[in-house]
């Protein structure tokens, strides 16, 4: 866990320092975000989803990120406007508060707190849940939210999703499941995918503006309150009503209690959906989750 925490913290701090140094142009986040979504994320999706192991008994765990994302849409659309938040801010909260960092932080934390058995369940939540939600529902939501009052035709929205590079990678990964990747291709995909975390967090750090924290305190409290408290509570209530093994309950709650997904913040930034608020959600959510997630696991 310490190397993971160190990498996350260093990349965030480097992004903040880079913005203050004046050596990087203001367009830096736009370039990095495009690289993450079009170059780094598709190989990761292609490699990970291609290796999926479908286990029917883990269906509830896989379904949890889908339910949480839909709950986030309803929650933030209901309460956001009542707190004076605009459309783009509500959308940013949905894309960060509704998606968990199940891969780069969630998997190492699951192995550290729950062992290899818990890690196996956490992988299912990540691959069958969060990854697929990002490539489908979240992408569709972001495209619709960025259009605003223009009300684009459903065909245009579906075209955006169909041409979204991670979604293309998802379709290819599922179509190629019967065939094993050659070793060289697997290595290339792994190396490209490994660039996602440092570049994405560097971009988030570059956009992190602590000077506006007081003005965004209400929105940030609402977003992190849902992500770190209400979301895992909903999962606990849902799974306690089902005959699932204790390790499935613990690992599923852990993954859904994680901080906001970095790729969700990148998606919000790419669609100009309040990038500042999305960066604050990730920048504050990740360190807070190191405290709240173990408490959830201990309580469950």
Predicted local confidence at residue 149, as pLDDT: 56
pLDDT tens for each residue of 229-263? 999 999 999 998 888 888 899 999 999 999 999 88
Predicted local confidence at residue 96, as pLDDT: 96
- Listed residue (35, 38, 54, 49) closest to 170, CA to CA: 49
Predicted local confidence at residue 211, as pLDDT: 67
Cα 31 from Cα 27, distance rounded (Å): 7
Q: Extract the residue ranges of the chain whose pLDDT is less than 70.
A: 1-2, 4, 52-54, 148-154, 157, 211-212
- Listed residue (276, 224, 282, 286) closest to 86, CA to CA: 276
CB 108 within 8 A of CB 1: yes
Domain extents in the chain: 30-299
Cα 243 from Cα 233, distance rounded (Å): 17
Partner residues linked to 260 by β-bridges: 100
Listed in sequence order, the residues at least 6 apart from 278 whose beta carbon sits closer than 8 Å to its beta carbon are 92, 95, 96, 204, 207, 260, 264, 265, 268, 269
Return the HEC string of 181-220: CCHHHHHHHHHHHCCHHHHHHHHHHHHCCHHHCCCCHHHH
Q: What are phi and psi of 100, to 5 degrees?
A: -100, 150
Listed in sequence order, the residues at least 6 apart from 70 whose beta carbon sits closer than 8 Å to its beta carbon are 137
CATH of 30-299, one of 1.20.1530, 2.40.160, 3.40.91, 1.10.3470: 1.20.1530
pLDDT tens for each residue of 35-86? 888 888 888 878 877 876 667 778 899 999 999 999 999 999 999 999 999 9
Reduced to 3 states (helix: H, G, I; strand: E, B; else coil), residue 258 is: coil
């Amino acid at each position: 866990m310490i190397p993971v925490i160190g990498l996350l913290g260093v990349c965030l701090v480097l992004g903040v320092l880079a913005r203050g140094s004046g050596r990087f142009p203001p367009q830096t986040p736009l370039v990095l975000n495009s690289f993450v979504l079009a170059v780094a994320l598709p190989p990761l999706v292609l490699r990970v989803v291609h290796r999926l192991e479908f286990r029917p008994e883990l269906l509830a765990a896989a379904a949890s990120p889908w339910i949480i994302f839909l709950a986030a849409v309803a929650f933030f659309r209901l309460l956001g406007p009542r707190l004076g938040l605009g459309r783009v801010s509500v959308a940013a909260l949905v894309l960060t508060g509704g998606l968990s960092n199940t891969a780069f932080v969630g998997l190492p934390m699951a192995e550290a707190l729950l062992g290899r058995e818990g890690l196996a369940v956490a992988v299912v939540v990540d691959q069958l849940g969060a990854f697929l939600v990002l490539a489908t529902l979240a992408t569709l939501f972001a495209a619709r939210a960025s259009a605003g009052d223009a009300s684009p035709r459903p065909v245009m929205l579906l075209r955006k999703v169909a041409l979204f590079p991670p979604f293309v990678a998802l379709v290819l990964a599922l179509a190629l499941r019967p065939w094993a990747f050659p070793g060289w291709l697997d290595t290339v995909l792994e190396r490209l995918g490994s660039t996602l975390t440092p570049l994405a967090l560097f971009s988030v750090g570059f956009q992190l503006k602590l000077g506006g924290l007081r003005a965004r305190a209400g929105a940030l409290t609402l977003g992190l309150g849902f992500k770190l408290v209400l979301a895992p509570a909903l999962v606990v209530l849902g799974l306690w009503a089902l005959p699932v093994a204790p390790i499935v309950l613990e690992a599923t709650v852990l993954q859904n209690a994680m901080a906001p997904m970095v790729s969700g913040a990148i998606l919000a930034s790419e669609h100009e959906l309040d990038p500042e608020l999305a960066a604050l959600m990730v920048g504050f959510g990740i360190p807070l989750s190191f405290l709240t997630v173990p408490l959830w696991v201990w309580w469950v």
